[in-house]
Chain A
Amino acid sequence: MLMKYLFAKNDEIPAGSATIFFGFSSIFWFVVGTGLGSFNAAKLAFPDWVTGTELFAFGHMRQVHVLAVIIGWISMAFGMTMMYMTPALGNTKLWSEKLGLWTVFLWNIGLSLGLLLLWMGITSGREYNDLIWPIDLVVIFGVLLPLGINVWMTIAHRKTQGIYITNWFFGACIFMVMIVFLVGQSPELFNLTGLTEAYLTFWFAHNVLGLWITPVAAAIAYYTIPKLTGNPLYSHRIGHLHFWAIIVFYSTPASHHLMSAPLPEWLKSFASVEGVLILIPAVAFVANILLTMKGKWTMFVENVETKFSITGVLLAIPLNMQGGFQQTRAINWYVHGTGWIVAHAHLALLGMSSFLEAAAVYFGLQQMLRRKLYSLTLANLHYWFFIVGFCIYWISMTIAGLIQGAGKIYEVPYIDVVVAEHPYMIARWVGGTMVFTGNVVWLFNMWMTAREGTLVPEGRYAHELAYER
């Protein structure tokens, strides 16, 4: 069906097609990404698991997991939400369904190729920016630019005078992440090595997290929570505070990721203050959303999309408390290079961001398919596998990180630290596997929704109808 629409006239493509293909692609990559995560975690928990084959070595597999989740699941879920929220918020239709379909097509092709190359060991060798530069150029010009054109043009053709806060973030974040990807290629393109390469690597990683993964997830919540609850967004003015604080405080030097490196100390000080100040947009966002929930807190229990969404918002609190303070000199010397950071990264990507996106994908797919969710039971099963699995993962890795930190500081022999961490590595695998299992259930549930979900009448929302299963 995708191939048919790729060469059809724009007007002949049903509205919402791009959303649906983006949505199912994102869930597929979430299954792949978390499946790889579970596989990799098993290698850490059980060292004899799949040995002797270079392709399945941890060093080959790790970055495939990371990029499958970031560019596959998270970014495609963003693409999906942009395809339906941007036009909805402008009371218009998507500027080009055809461009949206080509974007999702090229995205899947490019990502598959990129991950295959990573798996083969063809990599830039730089964390989070592991893809080689030609693939990154495909990401920039084959994925982000077409996505951006569609979003910007839809906003430009809106039928409202104002622009809703979600669309501020969508429009700005696509632009910023393109700049981040372009600058992020400079070590490869200009043969920058040593400290400069390290610095640019973490400038890239910092800004992909802060100008793409977390703010777009937050932008999604500005849509889903008012939409689901029927309440107006609590405050337009707090939205300003959130948006501009992200732009000002997150886009700064990022040298607080390299506190032990011989970068100029003043640059670290500059970045470190900004690192704590990231709590400003975080507080603004959380307060705005939680106050929007006023009078509708029962939905946190009763409505599965709200449950996912508010869980993501609540996880933003520990995420930013950790993120704000763990980069300071006082704490970083202890946790740097330990499992604590791995736990924190998963709190951001698998916790806050993924829960918010899952809510939007659940909501958007039902709306665009015009079908009610196939099974509430399966959706709740997904939620509980997701949250319990995530918590097991996060808590166990945090403890493992503290053990590693103590081992590092008190110069405990490395092998003793490895032995002490072993139970937590098993817990990590259990938690990650639960998340993976939940996602398989989700994919099945959404597939069945597309095939057998109850039809939603015109003018109604899926969440207004009663579940049948």
Chain B
Amino acid sequence: MAFKMDQPLYSLSDEAEQKEILALWEKEKHGGLSEGNNRIPFPITFLLGLIILTAFMITMPIWGQRPTADIYVDYVALMDSAEVQSMATPEEKMNYIAKTAYAKADARRQGALERHPLAWDDLLNIAPQIKEIQSGKGKYPLDNYNVLGDRIALANFEGNFTEGGYRERKQPWWDLGYTIDVFYVSYFLITMVIVIKRLPHFSRKPNLG
């Protein structure tokens, strides 16, 4: 059962133990079944690495997050303009507002606007709420509020305390869950490498007859 550390990527077991394991695999049949000692094929290893990378990339809170109220500030500013007021239908109004606000926005804001189109009726409903927060009556800045259909609500996050004395309510791109996962996955990989490398090297195949 001794660990052998001179060639850790070859095997962590000494020669005697490797031979013992191979002999057992050759001798022992589990109800007529036996097991091979083949390596994890390289494409599968690559796929496993890709899965781990993808797991962290695709689950970032930025994907699928709710729209924050601040992305519609320009919509609210434009809705009372003479151009918009002169238009006949809600569709025309929203089309104009969305295009104009989109052209003014930076790349990040543009992405948010693309993901969260707004209907004229909802804009009519949320506009007074946005104006109220803008007027200083809201305790938090606009980007701490989520738009939920036709209403605005303080986002369900508790971040760091800010200089203003309130707790930030913005969705983070990284959080405690990811930190736990980094350690969790690391421990798993380390343990699996130890478990698998304790077996005889994959180049040593049992003769299974």
Contact = CB atoms under 8 A, between A and B. Distances in A.
Interface of A: 85, 88-91, 160-162, 164-165, 223, 226-227, 232-241, 244-245, 248-249, 252, 259, 262, 265-277, 279-280, 283-284, 287, 291, 324-325, 328-333, 411
B63 to A, nearest CB: 4
Contacts of A223: 31, 33
A239 B176 CA distance: 31
Given A240-B196, A287-B41, A328-B58, A269 B31 contact: no
Interface in B81-106: none
B5 interface: no
Contact of B28 (A162, A269, A411): A162
B177 A283 contact: no
Nearest to B64: A329
B193 to A, nearest CB: 10
Contacts of B54: 276
A227 B33 contact: yes
| Interface of chain A, main secondary structure | helix
Given A164-B33, A235-B39, A283-B44, A273 B25 contact: no
Q: Across chains A and B, which 5 residue pairs bring their CB atoms closest together, nearest first?
A: A329-B64, A269-B177, A270-B177, A88-B31, A276-B55
B61 A234 contact: no
Interface in B42-101: 44, 47-48, 51-52, 54-56, 58-59, 61, 63-65
Interface residues of B, number: 52
A237 B177 contact: no
B178 A276 contact: no
B33 A244 contact: no
A164 B48 CA distance: 24
A223 B30 CA distance: 10
Contacts of A161: 24, 28
A245 B33 CA distance: 23
A262 B146 CA distance: 13
Contacts of A325: 58
B128 interface: no
Contacts, number: 168
17 contacts: A88-B30, A90-B31, A160-B30, A223-B33, A232-B33, A237-B38, A237-B196, A238-B38, A241-B192, A249-B188, A265-B177, A266-B178, A267-B177, A269-B181, A328-B64, A329-B61, A332-B64
Contacts of B134: none
A277 B52 contact: yes
A237 B44 contact: no
Interface of B: 24-25, 28-41, 44, 47-48, 51-52, 54-56, 58-59, 61, 63-65, 119, 149, 156-157, 171-172, 175-178, 180-181, 184-185, 188, 191-192, 195-196, 199, 202, 208
A232 B48 contact: no
Nearest to B206: A232
A241 B196 contact: yes
A291 B202 CA distance: 15
Contact of B51 (A240, A262, A277): A277
A328 B47 contact: no
A91 B29 CA distance: 8
Contact of A235 (B30, B40, B171): B40
B61 A265 contact: yes
Given A91-B30, A244-B191, 12 more contacts: A91-B29, A164-B31, A226-B34, A235-B36, A235-B37, A235-B39, A237-B196, A267-B177, A269-B178, A275-B55, A276-B59, A329-B59
A280 B51 contact: yes
A226 B180 contact: no
Contact of A330 (B30, B63, B171): B63
